[in-house]
Structure 1
Amino acid sequence: MTDTAVPRIQTKKQLRKTLNISQKEAVASAAMTATSDNFLNPLAIFFQASALQMSWLTAFPQLIGALSQLLSVWLGSVLPRRPLVYITAFIQTAVVMAIAALALINPGTAVHWLLILAILYHSSTNIIQPHWRAWMGQLVPARRRGTFFAARTRLTMATSVLIFLGGGAFLSLSEKAGISWIGFAILFAVAGIGRFFSSRYLYLMHDPAAKLIKSTTIVSGTFKQMMSSMQDKDFRNYSFFIAGMQGMVAISAPYFAVYMLRDLQFTYFDFAINSIASILTQFITLKFWGKVSDRFGNHLVIMITSIIIMMLPLLWLGSPSKLYLIGVQIMAGLGWSGFTLSTANYLYDIRPHRSNFATYAAVQSAIAAVLVFCGALFGGWVAEFSANSTYLQEHLRSTLLMVFCASSFMRILVVIWFLPKLAEPKIRHRPQVLQLVLRVSRFNAISGMVMDWLTVTSKKKNQKKDSDKHKK
């Protein structure tokens, strides 16, 4: 076997055991992400974070987390993959437990400590993700990926929804009892316990690439590919369009929770229901958008969903009604599901043939992280300015509505400027799709459902290939 050959699992028994453990890991990790990613902003609101501090909680963790992917590339060249993943996961366990302790202690500097812990949390996630994807890609046989990841997705989705709803209900009860800090502490402790078991399962899993394949060119080669990718006009326009959209979304991202919990006096359970409406809509409509993009092309889907996304913040101005805002979130789910899917497929189509897809995705993520950072800080300035305006206080039910208007206006500018520049690419031949396989990793207001996704070839096609090999 050469260094570039893909390592294989040693025995069927070992494979079966590892895949079973991986499904348990999916449930355990979902218990963490459903809590940490969805209740971090409500915790900051409980700590009475200012508008500017809320923007920091979006800006700095996103930026430093994205830069951690570069650190992850280097670590992967000097450390074996499996220990790197489970050790980082154990570190993340400690971070989530520290958030639970922070909620219980509630010091005067709680927001600053929460910002530090959020940075560590996102950095850990970004270090783990590239190696986890590569690990699972080598571990799961191609013919079983559809069934395996579909089952894993169902487990993740069910756990996330239950934890989100249960957490919202539990926090609402603790708030009524006047012990919100205990509610948050218990909720994040459960998240930490989930991550602990997740880390233990990762430790028990087999890695077919157990030995480190040392390479002195992996880092320099990656940077060369990143620099050369920006010379491609189509990729450059695409990258700045996606990054621009995410950056303009980040203007308002931290404030939807503030608007609901502080200004509209939603309970935590109401907040959870509102967010889940978008998650479920995205999950349900993904296949629909997949069919539309296959038939009419990704460019059309990007155009339609971009128009939806750029108008979303303005819809929040319509009514404070809970049912109305659930309707807005359903519309958001419809837009984000198609946007996420079509832009990923578009990247596949425009990248040069036989180039590294992961490198192009990493470049786009890095540019987006910088613009998200800038957008979030700008949103914080708009929120602070609006809050200090006596005129806006007298004429608006919430000064945060100005932030929503600013976000929508900036999204419209990005769409008007970049969308005409996105050329309709020549559709590259893709494997026949059996199923869109998703791993829901987290949900936030910046990019809707954040997920790891892949397409797999149909069983019939794989079986035909295997049959042809046997005939030969």
Structure 2
Amino acid sequence: MPAWKETQSSLKAHSPRQSMHNKMKGRVRKSLRASLMDGVFASGMIGMVENYIIPYALAFRAQAPQIGLLASLPNLVAALAQSRAEHAERLAGGRKTMLRAAVFIQAAAVLGMPALAFLPSDMRVTGLMFLAILYTTFGGLSAPPWGSLMCEYLPLSRRSGYFGWRNRITGLVIIACGLAAGGVLQIYGTSAIGGFLLIFSLAAVCRLISWHFLGKMHEPPLVHGPPRGDAPSPAPQRPNRNLRSFLAYSAAMSCAVNVAGPFFPVYMLQELRLGYMTFTVLTVATTFTTFTMMDAWGRHADHAGNLRVIRVSSFFLPAIPLLWLLSSDPAYLFCIQLASGVVWAGYNLCTSNFIYDSAPPAQRVGATGDFNMVNGFSIFIGAFLGSHLLILLPPLYGSRFFSLLVLSAALRLLALWAFLPRIREVREVAGVKSLDLFYSVIGIKPMPGISRGALRL
């Protein structure tokens, strides 16, 4: 047979496989585009809701214990729900079905928030707690199936870089919508309740649009293994111990952060008496640097490993609350918020990616559920303790909130010292020193293998 006929015959033999490959590539591309649009509109909701739930409660004259419950109780219920995330996915019949159902209920919760203003005054904060529980619980339940689907679309080598790029885009949307929401509240002034009605209504519409785009994502078939713990695993035990150590560290850090975290809005709006626009700018400053730095952190994580990035960013976490003690000038606080955003960008991005790297595809929903569950419990414990300590602690420099900040810093340092050294990287990465990684991320001295283009914000 002539060579050209052999080649033609070979091409024909492979064409069905090639056609299937191209079809799958097209589905993945379409799904990634739909996911981006989902992210844009979901971020619009986040920008108009998450930084304004506690100010909304303050407009209803909520007290410190109620603020503590509002910040902690939704996370406790969400944590309990996360323990059944894998079961819920099986019950729903697929990741996509579970994802869309959770997002729809979250949108309904946001849509109910404006109606609270028409309830009797003694029922408003309680009603807000109930809706915040729905919002947080079903928002949390949407994360495991979404993360599992995204990991199906993206190879390991591109995952951190892609999520960094995507998060930068969605972060800019959060910033824009957050600033717009703050501007609306500033315009309404003393009649801020009307402003809250407007921004929460728009947020619900955004989430419903994101729900629509989630329907366009492709769900690859997933073969489930036996439920975890029902059958012996041939894998070695060390990765399981490693993952447990990581969960313990993440939980301890979440608890330490949330001892003081929920009370920053109370401090800014009630103690410093900042206007809504100044409050928004300070809040958005962290979001801005968090999301603009995620692309750089993601590229470095692909090269140096997620754990190395977690180590570098964790080193700075105890210092952040202490910097708030030095001055209450809004310009100074703005600079502190910008700097803290750089640190949180690396930490938040790579904690999620470390979970994705540590679990096999069939167990990612369960592993992400476990991660969200232990963090939810930790957030509850931290915020619950903080709400009581805010009343009991002696004032420092005239403010009990400052006492909480010192305690939060000490607990962060303890978490870092007790748990972080036990964790090991789960994939093969280049050997990079922490100081070299930090210098490279901030653009002083790029690491080998990282172009200067990766360092642009």
TM-score class normalised by the smaller sequence: 0.7 to 0.9
2:293 paired with 1:285: yes
User: Per-residue deviation at 1:269?
Assistant: 1.3
User: In 1, Cα distance between the equivalents of 2:28 and 2:351?
Assistant: 34
The residue number in structure 2 matching 1:172 is 186
* Structure 1 residue 184 corresponds to structure 2 residue 192: no
Relative to structure 1, the CA distance from residue 150 to residue 181 in structure 2 (aligned partners, 3 Å threshold; closer, same or farther) is: same
For residues 364-443 of structure 1, what are the structure 2 equivalents within 5 Å?
Answer: 364-386=371-393, 392=395, 396-419=397-420, 421-422=421-422, 425=424, 428-429=427-428
Q: Report the counterpart of residue 85 of structure 1 in structure 2.
A: 99
Q: Is residue 305 of structure 2 the alignment partner of residue 327 of structure 1?
A: no
Alpha-carbon spacing, 1:238–1:70, altered in 2? closer, same or farther (3 Å)? closer
Structure 1 unaligned regions, length at least 5 = 1-6, 432-457, 459-472
Deviation at 1:231, TM superposition (A): 9.0
Is the CA contact 2:27–2:218 (under 8 Å) kept in the aligned structure 1? no
Residue 161 (structure 1) aligned with residue 175 (structure 2) = yes
* One-letter amino acid of the structure 1 residue matched with residue 410 of structure 2: F
AA paired with 1:162?
A: A
Residues 285, 337 of structure 1: 8 Å contact kept: yes
Corresponding residue number in structure 2 for 1:470: none
Q: Which amino acid is 1:332 matched to?
A: S
How far apart are the structure 2 equivalents of 1:365 and 1:239? Answer: 9
Offset, 1:309: 0.8
Change in Cα spacing, 1:304 to 1:92, as seen in structure 2 (3 Å) is: closer
Unaligned runs of 5+ in 2: 1-19, 431-449, 451-457
Relative distance call for 1:131 and 1:266 in structure 2 (3 A) is same
CA distance change for structure 1 residues 289 and 128 in 2, over 3 Å: closer, same or farther?
A: closer
Residue 469 of structure 1 aligns with which residue?
A: none
1:190 aligned partner, one-letter code:
L
Give the Cα–Cα distance (whole angstroms) in 2 for the partners of residues 230 and 100 of structure 1: 49
Write the deviation string for residues 208-247 of structure 1: whole angstroms up to 9, x where unpaired.
Answer: 45x8x796x654558988xx97995444433222211111
1:268–1:104 Cα change, 3 Å: farther
1:451-466 to 2 correspondence within 5 Å?
none
Q: CA deviation at 1:264?
A: 0.7
1:41 Cα deviation (Å)?
1.4
Residue 123 of structure 2 corresponds to 109
Q: Call closer, same or farther: CA 1:280–1:229 in 2, change over 3 Å.
A: farther
Q: Does the CA contact (< 8 Å) of 2:48 and 2:199 recur in 1?
A: yes
CA change 1:106–1:9 in 2 (3 A) is: farther
* Structure 1 residue 399, shift from structure 2 partner: 2.4
Find 1:201's aligned residue among 213, 229, 233: 213
| Aligned equivalents of 1:102, 1:31: Cα separation in 2 | 21
Shift of 1:21: 4.5
> Does 2:297 align with 1:265?
no
Letter in 1 for 2:278: D
1:318 equivalent in alignment to 2:353: no
TM-score by length of 1: 0.74
* Identical-residue share of aligned pairs (%): 26
Contact 1:88 1:124 in 2 (8 A): yes
Contact 1:72/1:126 (CA < 8 Å) preserved in 2? no
Offset at residue 131 of structure 1 (A): 1.9
Distance 1:156 1:233 in 2: 34
Contact 1:35–1:163 (CA<8 Å) still a contact in 2? Answer: yes
CA distance in 1, matches of 2:156, 2:407: 46
The aligned counterpart of 1:462 is none
Shift in CA distance, 152/103, structure 1 to aligned 2, threshold 3 Å: farther
Name 2:62's counterpart in structure 1: 49
- Structure 1 letter corresponding to 2:148: A
The residue number in structure 1 matching 2:442 is none
CA distance in 2 between partners of 1:208 and 1:373 (Å): 33
- Counterpart of 2:77 in structure 1 is 64
Among candidates 345, 356, 370, match of residue 363 of structure 1: 370
What is the rounded CA distance, in whole Å, between the counterparts of 1:11 and 1:293 in structure 2? 28
SS in structure 1 at match of 2:405: helix
Whether the 8 Å CA contact 1:222–1:359 is kept in 2: the answer is no
Paired with 1:64 and 1:9, the residues of 2 have a C-alpha distance of 43
| 1:216-227 alignment, distance < 5 Å | 218-220=226-228
Residues 8 and 139, structure 1, Cα contact 8 Å, conserved in 2: no
Contact (CA 8 Å) 2:359, 2:367: kept in 1 or not?
no
Measured in 2, the distance between the counterparts of 1:71 and 1:365 equals 11
User: Measured at CA, do residues 246 and 146 of structure 1 come closer, stay the same or move farther in structure 2, by a change above 3 Å?
Assistant: closer
Amino acid at match of 1:367: V
CA distance in 2, matches of 1:132, 1:298: 20
One-letter identity of the residue aligned with 1:428: R
Q: Which moved more, 1:400-409 or 1:185-194?
A: 400-409
Are 1:52 and 1:380, in contact at CA under 8 Å, matched by a contact in 2? yes
Aligned-pair RMSD on alpha carbons?
A: 3.8
Residue in structure 2 matching 1:237, options 241, 245, 261: 245
Which residue number corresponds to residue 309 of structure 1? 317
- Work out which of the residue numbers 113, 134, 156 in structure 2 matches 1:120: 134
In the aligned structure 2, how far is the partner of 1:130 from the partner of 1:330? 30
Task: Please tell me the residue identity of whatever aligns with 2:212.
Answer: R
Deviation at 1:156, TM superposition (A): 2.1
**Aligned-residue offset at 1:30:** 1.8
State the alpha-carbon separation in 2 of the partners of residues 120 and 107 from structure 1.
Answer: 21
Structure 2 contact 223–362 (Cα < 8 Å) conserved: no
**Structure 2: distance between partners of 1:355 and 1:18:** 20
Matches within 5 A, 1:461-472: none
| CA distance, structure 1, for counterparts of residue 58 and residue 231 of structure 2 | 40
Query: Cα distance 1:371–1:235, how it changes in 2: closer, same or farther (>3 A)?
Result: same
Residues 166-196 of structure 1 show CA distances to partners (whole Å, capped at 9, x for unaligned) of 0011101111xx3211100111000011112
Question: Alignment partner of 2:61: what SS?
Answer: coil
Equivalent residues, number: 409
Q: 1:36 deviation in Å? A: 1.8
